[in-house]
């Protein structure tokens, strides 16, 4: 399965995935964001910490 398709499936099934751009108007990581409290890849924008959704840093990913 192509990598892009695998990512699309992951995003649709993860309850921590969201788009800060859609919800808050803040564009970080092209709108691929994570609410998981253990996500370490975060960016602070407008005083808010916004997690980035990456497979290599996902607290839920099985490697």
What are the phi and psi torsion angles at 23 (to 5°)? -85, -35
Strand 42-45 to strand 33-34: parallel, antiparallel, or no bridges (unpaired)?
unpaired
pLDDT of 46 reads: 93
Instruction: Report d(CA 62, CA 19) in Å as an integer.
Output: 23
Strand 48-52 to strand 33-34: parallel, antiparallel, or no bridges (unpaired)?
antiparallel
Summarised one tens digit per residue, pLDDT across range 11-56 is: 667 889 999 999 999 999 999 999 999 999 999 999 999 999 988 8
Question: What pTM does this model have?
Answer: 0.76
The pLDDT confidence band at residue 1, using thresholds 50, 70 and 90, is very low
pLDDT above 70 for 9: no
Residues 6 or more apart from 29 whose CB is under 8 A from it?
A: 43, 50, 52, 53, 54
pLDDT of 7 reads: 54
């Amino acid at each position: 399965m192509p990598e892009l398709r695998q990512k699309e499936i992951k995003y649709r099934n993860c309850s921590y995935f969201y788009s800060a751009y859609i919800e808050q108007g803040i564009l970080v990581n092209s709108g691929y964001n994570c609410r998981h409290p253990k996500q370490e890849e975060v960016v602070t924008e407008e005083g808010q910490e916004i997690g980035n959704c990456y497979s290599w840093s996902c607290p839920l990913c099985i490697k």
